[in-house]
Structure 1
Amino acid sequence: MKDKFQKQVDAFSKVLLSFIILILVVFGGLYYWANHKPKPKIEDIPLEESNEDFDKVENGIHVATGFVDDKGMEATIQNCTSCHSAKLVTQNRMSREGWKATISWMQETQNLWDLGANEELILTYLTKNYAPTDKGRRQNLENIDWYELK
């Protein structure tokens, strides 16, 4: 009886081992297939063609970034948009002290490099073109025909 039981255990062990090997082979193959697809060649990747010139300015606004065209704009674009969107700058309004504090914070906590001689140029540009306004971020809505919901 022990021999019969031992044979059943051996048979079950072989079936279980075969099943485990099968699972490993299947999942290993799937993993290999998912992670080793042929990489596209450079010529196979479609390039987006842009008719927009990066240096284009319309109505005093740099088209590609939305920055006001003024002295210091290029230095501001080079130093600010390397890490974040231009929109992060243009949506804010701060005093010179506020812009200086923001730059210092980015240097202390966000690995912003030393701006050197460009710092004065950038601060002057930001203070002139993105200073606080009495109106806040958005002007009040005017000439609106309000109606009552029923």
Structure 2
Amino acid sequence: MFAQENYEGTLESQYTTLAKQLDALLSGENDVIANLSNASAVLNQFLQEINWVGFYLMKDGELVLGPFQGLPACVRIAVGRGVCGTAVAQKKTIVVEDVHAFPGHIACDAASNSEIVIPLLKEGEVIGVLDIDSPIKNRFSEDDERGLTLFVQTLLKHL
């Protein structure tokens, strides 16, 4: 149902459709873990050429592993460390074309070569991040960044 090849139109319109489907899927449910679990599953089905997608949540001043799809992952990440921690510290999306060139990159999966991390912001505070890894270098385009930002904005209405 959610695989990208089942969507028509531009990548932008595909992400718009995906965000609308996420909104409908999460409508009426307010459990954070359930909604993050479904969101990671939806992205895992929709996105091609990725090897990990999931969430880290802020707890006691650090990121702690939340719902995800993929191989086992690092459980805790300090703010300012790696791509995820840097995205939290800067409160902005970070797209990394080659994770091996990113200072302080945390290699949870040696197969990962590129990454996008989008902070989940509520009332100006980071409550977590969406983290997506790919085995393909330079996997994430500006269209992906815009589409995933829309996806996160839709998700935040249900958290």
- Higher CA-based Rg: 1
**Greater fraction strand:** 2
Flag the structure with higher helix content: 1
Normalising by structure 1, report the TM-score. Answer: 0.29
